[in-house]
Amino acid sequence: MENKNVAVKTQNGDEVSIWFLCKGCNTRHRIVVGKWTWNGDLIKPTFTPSILCTWNEPSGDKRCHSFVTDGKIKYLTDCTHDLKGQTVDLPIID
């Protein structure tokens, strides 16, 4: 059993989604292959362009904006979480 940093799921016949764990948000984010490019690597994935997630909570508007490159997440400074501006390794995902 190999450790992976992304989970690949195929839905609706042929739509391929890639999920990764975000330590900044403590949740999973998803990209859809075709809307983003993926280098095909499960350990050191690269997605382009950047991944932007926004949502609302009672405490205010939340934003997570990152580049995933070579198995690392680079958080841009417009994130609302504590890892903004930092680059961290992608965690292992089930």
- Sequence length of the chain is 94
Q: Is the backbone of residue 60 left (phi > 0), alpha (psi -120 to 50) or beta?
A: left
Q: Which is nearer to Zn ion, 25 or 31 (CB)?
A: 25
Q: Which of 49, 84, 55, 91 is nearest to 67 (CA)?
A: 49
Give the nearest distance from C-beta 31 to Zn ion in angstroms. Answer: 12
> What is the Cα–Cα distance from 71 to 44, expressed in whole angstroms?
4
Q: Which is nearer to Zn ion, 31 or 64 (CB)?
A: 64
Q: Which is nearer to Zn ion, 2 or 35 (CB)?
A: 35
Give the nearest distance from C-beta 16 to Zn ion in angstroms. Answer: 21
Q: Which residues bind Zn ion (CB under 5 A)?
A: 22, 24-25, 64
